[in-house]
Chain A
Amino acid sequence: MRVAPDAGARPREADRAEEALDEARRAGARYADARVVERTRRRLLVKNGAVAEVIEEEDRGIAVRALAGGTWGFAATADLEPAGVARAARAAVAQARIPLPPGAAPVDLAPEPPHVGAWATPIAIDPFEVPLGDQVDLLLRTDAALRAVRGVTIAESALRFDRVRQHFASSEGARIDQRIVHTGAGCEARAFRDGVITRRSYPNAAGGQHASRGYELALELDLPGNATRIAEEAVALLDAPPCPSGELDVILGSAMLALQIHESIGHPTELDRVLGWEAVVAGTSYLAPGAIGSHRIGSPRVNVVADARLEHGPGVGTFGYDDEGVAAQRMDLVREGVVVGALSGRESAARSGLARSGGTVRAESWDRFPLVRMTNVSLEPGAGSLADLIADTRDGLLLDVDYSWSIDDKRLNFQFGTEIGWRIRGGKLAEMVSGATYGGITPVFWSACDAICGPEAWTLWGFADCGKGHPMQSMSTGHGAAPARFRKVRVGFRGAP
C-alpha cells in the first residue's frame, strides 16, 4: 500500500488559488476560499459482447466563494489563465456585495483552524496506469460468463475510475492538497419473457461496488467468477412466484440496508435539510431543528455514525478535508435509536449553535457550490452471522439489492423494491420470490429492528451518484451495514391498492 506522492493540483494551478484570494481581498471580501480542481474520469462498458463505451474525460477549473456583506457569492470558471481567475474572483465578490433585505442575518461560519496539509487516497494499483486492454479484457470475460446463461437478454459489465486532484485555499490561511481516487466495478444481467423484465446485479446495483481504492478493488471483486450466479438468478426470477403481500419479518441484506440508511437516516440528518435550505428541490426532514438529541427513530440496537476518516474504511465518503477545509471527523448520528447528531458544514453549524462544523460539505466539482453531503454514514454492527439470523427467523423474507427506491420529502414514507428475495420458513431459506417490495414509515421501521449481524457480515458499500441541490450535483457516499432483521414489515406492494 502506498500513498501517492503527487497529492493536489499542479503547482501552477495551485498558484491560481492565491491569485484568486488576492483579487477577492482587493475587491473587499471579508472571507473567500478557492478550490482548483482537476478531475480525470474513465468509463468502460461492455454490453452484450461488444465494447460499448470507452470514455475518458478530464476537466479542470477554479471555484471562488466569497462573503462581503451580503449572501454567498460563488463563481466558477474553466479559464485558468490569470485574467480568467481574477474575473471569477471579482464576480464572486460583486455578487456577495448585493445587499441583503432588511433584517436578514449575515452568513456566519463556525471556527476551524486553518489547516495546511495534504491527503491522498491510499491505493495499491493506480487504475489509470493499468493498461486499458487489461480492463477491457476483464469486462469481456465477465460479459461472456453472463451471456453463457440461457435466457439472459442484456448483459452489462462496467468499470469506472475517478481521480480528483484539488487545492483548497482560504483567506483564513488554509492550504490543503488532496488526491482522491475512486474505483467502481460491477456487472448486471437482465432477462425478458412475455412482458416480464428481471434484473440481477453483482455486487450491488447502480454500477456495483465503489470505494476509495485502486484497481485492486476490481480484481478482488472477481466479476467473471460471480457472473454466472447472478445471470442464473436473473433468469430464475422469471419463473419465481411474486413476493407475498402482507406483514412479514424481513431480513435486509447489507447492500439493501445500505441504501435504507442513506435514504431514511443519512438525508434527514443533513443539517441544511433540517434548516429548510433544501426545501425547494431535495426537501426537508422529519427532524425539527431543536429535536437533535431527543428524537427517537429506532430501537436501542440502532447506532449510526458518520465517519469520513480512513479508520472507518475506504468508503467513497472518505477524505482528509471537506470542501470548506474542515478536517475529516467521526460523529454519532444515532445512538441507541435516538438522533444525537447531524451532518453539518461551517455555516449550518454556526446557525445551529454548534461549536464546530462536522466537515461534511462537498461539491461535485469545481463548478458547483458546495453543500452538506453524507460522508460514510454507517450502521454499527451487532453480533452473529446471517445464517444465525435466518435460523432465528420462523416466517419471513430475506431481501437484498436495490431495485427501486422512493421516499417522501421529509424522509418518512418509503417504499423500496429489491432485485431478489427468498422466503424464510422455519428458520431456513425457501423459494426465491420476484418483484419484492417493502415499505413503511421511517421511525416505525427502524423501531422494529431487533437484530443486526456482526462485524464479519459488515460491508462498507459505496454509492457513486447521489443527487442533491440545484443545479443538481452528484456525489459519492459510503454506507456500512451488516444484514439486519425488522419485525412485521409491510411487503408486496406491487400494483395492488
Chain B
Amino acid sequence: VSDARPGADLPSREQAFEILHRTLRATAADAAEASFDAEVTRLTGYAAGELRHTITEGGRALSLAAVFDRRVSRVTTTRIDAEGIADLARRAEAIARVPREPDLAIDLAGPPAAPSLPSKFDAATASDDHAAQTGDAAAVLRLARSRGLEAAGYVMSSEGVSAIRNTAGLEAYHHGTEAEAAVTMRRLGGEAETSGYGAAAAWRAAAIRLDEIAASVANKAIWGGPPLKLDPGEYTVVLEPLAVAELLMFLAEGFNARSVEEDDSFLTGRVGKDLFSPLFTLLDDAGHPLQRGLPFDGEGWPKRRVALIDKGRVAELLADRATAARMGLEPTGHGFPIPNAHGAYAANLVVPPGDASNEDLVAGCARGILVTRFWYARPVDPGTLTVTGLTRDGTFLIEDGRVTRRLADLRWNQSLIEAFAALDAVGNREAVVPMEHLTVVTPALRIPRFRFIS
C-alpha cells in the first residue's frame, strides 16, 4: 500500500475470500452469508472559479447475514481483525435469536449455473491521482474564465473490491474501477444568469473527454441570448441524455417485481402489455461495454441482461431470488442483500440507440423545447407515474426545426406512461450518465405533448 492510498488496502481475491472464510467460520449459524466491500475514491472538487478540495475516501465494510432457527439478521462492521469478526458473529446471533415468527424467505443462493460477467478494471484509472485531477480541473477553470464564466464541478475516480461467499457454496468477486466528472458553468448576472452543464461516467477515466464536455458546457452557458419566459402548455421536447436519464430512473423503479407483487407499482396489471411507443426499448444490462459497476447483486447472483421494455411492450421485471420464487420468475441478479424487504433494483439502464441524428431530432420539431437536464424530479401520482420537476442548465426554444434561443427554466407535470407512449424519435448517439445509484446509457429522445405548467 503506497502513501497515495491511505486505508485502501484493497485485498486480493484470495485475501478477500480469506476474510469471508474467517467470518463464516466464526458463526454457529445454520446458514450464513458474508460479504466484504472496500473502496478508495479520489475526488477533486472546484467551484466559484477555484479549486475547493482534494478528497481521498478509503472505506470498507464486512457484513454477515446469519440464519438461526429460520430467523435472519444482518450486521456490518469496519473491523476485520479477529476481535471485530468475533464480535460481528456474536451480534448476528443475538439479533437473529430475538423471539418472533420464522422469516418467510431465508434460503441462500447456491452456486449459479453461469458465472458473473468479468469485472471492468482499468489500471490507469486505479492509479489516477490528485495531481492529474487538479490539472484537469485547472484546465476547466481556465476555459471558463476565458469565456467570462464561473465554473464548478468535480473529477472523480475509484477502485473497489466486492466479495461475497455463503455456506451454500456461492462465491462472487469483483475488482473494478469507475470514473466520473461533472461541470457546470454560469454566466453570473442575477435574474439574467445563464448556465450550462455536462457530466459523464465510465469505467476507464480516459474514456471521459473532459475537454470536450467543458467546451460544450461553455457554449451552452453562453448561447441563445437572455432567457425568454415561455407560456405554460404542451410542447414537443427533445431530451438530451442527461434529461432522459432522470425520467428513466422513475420508470425503472416500477419494474421491481416485488413492487408489482405488492400492488405498489404503476405496472401492476400491466406486465406483457404494449404500454409504450414501439420505438422504445429499455434494458438493464451491466454487461454493456459502456456500463460500469458490480456484475452481481446483493445476493451474489450474476446480473443478467433484462429487457424491461421491448419495443413498447412491458416485457420482464427485475426479481430478487425470493420474489422470483413466489412469482414463478427467474431471478435476474438485481436483488438487495438479505434480509430484503425491498426486492430488486435497476443499476445499469440502457436505451439502445435509434437512427435519428441530433439534427434530425430537432429538425422534426416545428415548435418545441430542447432540454439539457431535468432537476428535482419527484413523483406526484404513483398510479399514473405522474412526475413533476424542472429544467436546468440549458433550456432552448426550437422553432421550425431549428434551435433559436434560450428559455427560462420551466416546471413540468407529466405522466411518464403517456410520455414514453408518445415518444416519436430515438437518437443515434449514446452517452453515459452518472446518477446517484445507477448508470444510464442512453441517446437523446423526442417526446411530443410534454406538459409544462409554469
The residues of A with any CB-CB pair to B shorter than 8 Å are: 45, 47-48, 50-61, 70-79, 84, 87-88, 90-92, 94-96, 98, 100-101, 104-105, 131-133, 136, 140, 153-154, 190, 192, 195-197, 275-281, 283-284, 288, 367-369, 404-409, 413, 415, 417, 435, 437, 439, 470-472, 493-497
Contacts and interface: CB of A to CB of B under 8 A. Distances in A.
Contact of A74 (B55, B59, B184, B389): B55
B187 interface: no
Given A406-B378, A406-B390, 18 more contacts: A54-B74, A58-B75, A58-B78, A59-B76, A59-B77, A77-B58, A95-B54, A96-B54, A104-B51, A132-B98, A133-B99, A280-B182, A284-B186, A437-B380, A471-B57, A493-B413, A493-B453, A495-B386
Nearest to A495: B386
A279 B152 contact: yes
Contacts of A51: 71, 100-101, 103
Nearest to B134: A98
9 contacts: A59-B76, A60-B79, A74-B53, A75-B7, A195-B266, A197-B264, A413-B411, A470-B154, A470-B182
Contacts of B43: 470-471
Interface of B: 1, 3-7, 9, 41, 43, 45, 47-48, 50-61, 71, 73-79, 91, 94-96, 98-101, 103-104, 130-131, 134, 138, 141-142, 150, 152-154, 156, 182-184, 186, 190, 197, 232-234, 262-264, 266, 268-269, 339, 341, 375-384, 386, 388-390, 392, 409, 411, 413-415, 436, 451-454
A71 B50 CA distance: 9
A262 B312 CA distance: 40
A493 B375 CA distance: 18
A94 B58 CA distance: 16
A368 to B, nearest CB: 7
Nearest to A59: B78
Contact of B262 (A94, A140, A154): A154
B341 A280 contact: no
Given A101-B51, A153-B264, A406-B377, A77 B101 contact: no
Contact of A406 (B4, B6, B74, B376): B376
A103 to B, nearest CB: 9
Given A87-B6, A493-B413, A54 B184 contact: no
A105 B263 CA distance: 56
A223 to B, nearest CB: 17
B79 A494 contact: no
Nearest to B382: A197
Nearest to B7: A77
Given A51-B100, A59-B76, A96-B54, A280 B184 contact: yes
B269 to A, nearest CB: 7
Contact of B53 (A52, A72, A136, A280): A72
A278 B53 CA distance: 12
Contact of B76 (A50, A54, A57): A57
A94 B152 contact: no
Given A59-B77, A88-B6, A195-B268, A281 B98 contact: no
A59 B101 CA distance: 30
Nearest to B434: A470
Q: Which of B51, B60, B74, B409 has the most CB of A within 10 A?
A: B51
A369 B264 contact: no
B384 A495 contact: yes
A59 B43 CA distance: 22
Nearest to A402: B378
B213 to A, nearest CB: 12
Contact of B380 (A70, A284, A493): A493
A33 B439 CA distance: 35
Contacts of A73: 53-54
B99 A87 contact: no
A368 B98 contact: no
